[in-house]
Structure 1
Amino acid sequence: MNKFTRRTVIAAACAAAAMTFGPMSFAQQAPEKKDVTIAVGGKSLYYYLPLSIAEQLGYFKDEGLNVKIVDFQGGSRSLQAVVGGSADVVSGAFEHTISMQAKKQPMTAFVLQGRAPQLALVVSNKTMKDYKQLSDLKGKKVGVTAPGSSSQMVANFILKKGGLGPKDVAFIGVGSSSGAVSAIRSGQIDALINLDPVITILLKNGDAKLVADTRKVKESESFFGGTMPAGCLYAPVSFIEKNPQTVQALTNAIVRADEWLSKATPEEVAKVVPASYLMGNRDIYLAGFEGNRDALSPDGRFPDGCAKISLGALQTVNDKIDPAKIDLTKVYTNKFVDEALKKYPAK
């Protein structure tokens, strides 16, 4: 073989190798930042279940990451942790990406955990025995996790179906755990919009009646006119631009968790999550998961149009946001999920 021929063969071989491994090498590169801190507000909630599954099943480690999850009392505090620099990424409500852009602190969501808010509205069987329709809540006290929270935002949309505006009821912050349960049982509030396991506990014990349920995708879409994105991973744009492989690794782990949860039985989930999540009542936890399964994202993708719906909902609790100044194409991206699905295609 002469020199020219040898060089030609070698060049052809290199080109073939580049074609074989080039496209995959980007997705397979090591994370720029292996130690990542994720802030979350209420880690044990079903709302954030994909995060816990990815942690417990070792999906983050599989991607070369050492993930530390710091749990805060609410989503706003987890967001503050990232803004303050003590955490890198937030596992939180999608709409925060919109409100932060309005504050000129751009953040982008890169993998979805929930495709519906997972909030349910119930009325007290103690103070609202004669309840018949949403308009009956006029002038009543409605418990929310916190004033201005996602729960109040969803409540506004639900109440609108009954012809009620935000000022027609009194919103009271009661948290998302035992305090919320006590508020209904004691008669402190007449209605409550909250997450599980609070809702399941109240319904199982006969303390409340279910009025509206965004744990069901179809019912959620009937209120919002389409998919209302919920829990997701999001981070400052600067972090994503500086650490694309780290973000890809995080996305891969959550996509795997989303896919696992779409097929898991309640019993399988209960075996994986920490015992503390069961709150001493395994049956309640199992029932709660079954009630929330539909609202979990099956693949991590953000549906078309979801950001517009989220913006409309956000305006009901924050009228200072000017839609004309929000670029909805920058509050989320599916490019990392698209890559993850190539590596872990849904089966």
Structure 2
Amino acid sequence: MSLSRRELIKLAGMAGAATVFPRLASAKGIEKKDVKIAVGGQALIYYLPLTIAQRRGFFKDEGLDAQVIDFAGGSKALQAVVGGSADVVSGAFEHTIMLQSKGQFYRTFAQQGQAPMMVLGVSTKTMAGYKSPADLKGKKVGVTAPGSSTNMMVSFFLTKHGLKPTDVSIIGVGAGAGAITALRTGQIDAMCNVDPVISTLVHAKELRIISDTRTLKDTHEVFGGNMPSGCLYAAQSFLDKNPNTAQALANAIVRADKWIHAASLDDIAKTVPQSYLLGDAELYKLALKGNMEAISPDGMVAKDGPETALKAQAAYIPNFPVSKIDISKIWTNQFAIKANKKYPHA
């Protein structure tokens, strides 16, 4: 096929533009289609948007081949992305602050939870006489994994009530049936975990709740403001190198957030793997109902949320370098804003 002189000049111009502005030429192209997402305890409702995006094919719809790698807790997922075996973390927002305090820059770019959803409770068997936080001194407290967000909440709770994080023994128990067994068999005296683990134990009257962050009201009472929780975060270098990939990931998560709020409890329970139900679909749906407000409706981080998260870390970590933290570098809503334009409805 022969080309006219005008067409040849037009093609030459396009080639020149691609040379000067390589990003412009591939603006709509995804830089990295095979993405590894690390998560700590995917079966938890805390990570429900990630599961929905995966199970309903939202990542594939965006042109991604997203592989979710599940770990025992958020701290393990964080280690995976820092170590290079994963690209993105579906984890706790506050990890980005902790990483920056160590000179590592990671940024949240899509929110899954607008409240922590974490619950701290004591065993009705080994701590039947619990009266105040002081009773926790010397006790064994289960968390999903040492260093994870559940561990952070325990430390914050203890500090808020005049105790030190070292006043208790922190034990990693995971985020599923193993955590339930640990409490039932007396391996731990108290636990900080999320649903469906918490609702299963409360329903069986084996756990007494002493601090709850599954609603916005309770979260404000505990932390003094909005507290972002589950999110997608990645190294700033990854976002700089793969902006279209990050946008595709954010699109899928925002779409999942909206789908969850529009779906029935039955639809959600049928979508997640059967193992997530822990053998009781009705109890799982009850837990879903109790956490629905905590799941982000649009993937956006509340403007006061980062400051609340920073204050929470500074409250229990000795000599935390608050003045050195630039919270503007740990989050952005730019991807979520675009995702909401693409998916204005569920």
1:100 aligns with 2:99: yes
Q: CA contact under 8 A between 1:111 and 1:336: conserved in structure 2? A: yes
The aligned residue for residue 21 of structure 2 is none
- C-alpha distance 238-342 of structure 1, shift in aligned 2 (>3 A): same
- C-alpha distance 346-225 of structure 1, shift in aligned 2 (>3 A): farther
Tell me, in whole angstroms, the C-alpha distance in 2 between the residues paired with 1:251 and 1:27. 19
Tell me, in whole angstroms, the C-alpha distance in 2 between the residues paired with 1:198 and 1:103. 32
Shift of 1:104: 1.9
TM-score after normalising by structure 2: 0.86
The aligned residue for residue 203 of structure 2 is 204
SS of 1:315's partner is: helix
Aligned-pair identity (%): 53
The aligned residue for residue 57 of structure 2 is 58
The aligned residue for residue 218 of structure 1 is 217
Larger deviation: 144-153 or 84-93?
Answer: 144-153
The aligned residue for residue 226 of structure 2 is 227
AA partner of residue 179 (structure 1): G
AA partner of residue 173 (structure 2): V
Shift of 1:76: 2.0
Q: CA contact under 8 A between 1:183 and 1:189: conserved in structure 2? A: yes
Q: CA contact under 8 A between 2:150 and 2:192: conserved in structure 1? A: yes
For residues 147-296 of structure 1, what are the structure 2 equivalents within 5 Å? 147-160=146-159, 162-296=161-295
Shift of 1:144: 2.2
AA partner of residue 296 (structure 2): S
- C-alpha distance 176-327 of structure 1, shift in aligned 2 (>3 A): same
- Superposed CA RMSD in Å reads 2.2
Deviating 4+ runs (over 6 angstroms): 25-28
1:118 aligns with 2:117: yes
AA partner of residue 306 (structure 1): G
Shift of 1:168: 4.0
The aligned residue for residue 310 of structure 2 is 311
Q: CA contact under 8 A between 1:30 and 1:64: conserved in structure 2? A: no
AA partner of residue 197 (structure 2): V
TM-score after normalising by structure 1: 0.86
Unaligned 5+ residue runs, structure 1?
1-24
AA partner of residue 45 (structure 1): L
How big is each residue's C-alpha offset from its partner over 1:189-224, in whole Å with a ceiling of 9 and x where there is no partner?
322111122111111111122222111221011110
Q: CA contact under 8 A between 2:75 and 2:147: conserved in structure 1? A: no
Tell me, in whole angstroms, the C-alpha distance in 1 between the residues paired with 2:339 and 2:294. 21
AA partner of residue 245 (structure 2): T
Unaligned 5+ residue runs, structure 2?
1-23
How big is each residue's C-alpha offset from its partner over 1:261-289, in whole Å with a ceiling of 9 and x where there is no partner?
12222111011112222232212221221
Q: CA contact under 8 A between 1:299 and 1:346: conserved in structure 2? A: no
Q: CA contact under 8 A between 1:75 and 1:92: conserved in structure 2? A: yes
AA partner of residue 327 (structure 1): D
Shift of 1:134: 3.2
- C-alpha distance 287-40 of structure 1, shift in aligned 2 (>3 A): same
Tell me, in whole angstroms, the C-alpha distance in 1 between the residues paired with 2:88 and 2:106. 10
Tell me, in whole angstroms, the C-alpha distance in 1 between the residues paired with 2:150 and 2:75. 13
Shift of 1:28: 8.0
Tell me, in whole angstroms, the C-alpha distance in 1 between the residues paired with 2:246 and 2:335. 8
AA partner of residue 282 (structure 2): D
For residues 15-164 of structure 1, what are the structure 2 equivalents within 5 Å? 29-160=28-159, 162-164=161-163
AA partner of residue 332 (structure 2): T
- C-alpha distance 173-86 of structure 1, shift in aligned 2 (>3 A): closer
AA partner of residue 338 (structure 2): E
AA partner of residue 282 (structure 1): A
For residues 294-333 of structure 1, what are the structure 2 equivalents within 5 Å? 294-316=293-315, 318-319=317-318, 321-333=320-332
SS of 2:303's partner is: coil
Shift of 1:292: 1.6
